[in-house]
Amino acid sequence: AFTMWLAGGGTRPGMIYGATDELGFSITESPVHVHDLNATILHLLGLDHTRLTFRHQGRDYRLTDVHGELVRGVLA
């Protein structure tokens, strides 16, 4: 679990996304990987993270790795 502060730029104001246990140790609802968060921020900046792909030695690389997805629940 991690805490983020985002303002403006197409995010929903004053929201909590997901949930953890009482200690904040285990994610109990709507897990988000850091690659998903990066894909969402790139989307809000107007960049398509899937088009920022380059191939090196037969493998595709991205800023969001090849499995980053948008977190639509935080978009306004």
Tens place of pLDDT per residue across the chain (76 aa)? 777 787 778 888 888 899 999 998 899 999 999 899 999 999 999 999 888 888 899 988 888 887 889 999 988 8
**Per-residue exposure over 35-60, b if at least 16 CB sit within 10 Å of its own CB, e if not:** bbbbbbbbbbeeeebeeeeeeeeeee
Token reading at 18: 């997901």
Whole-model pTM above 0.75?
A: yes
Query: Which two structure tokens, joined as six digits, stand for 53?
Result: 């792909």
Q: Round to whole Å and give the CA distance between 66 and 76.
A: 25
Alpha-carbon span 60 to 6, nearest angstrom: 29
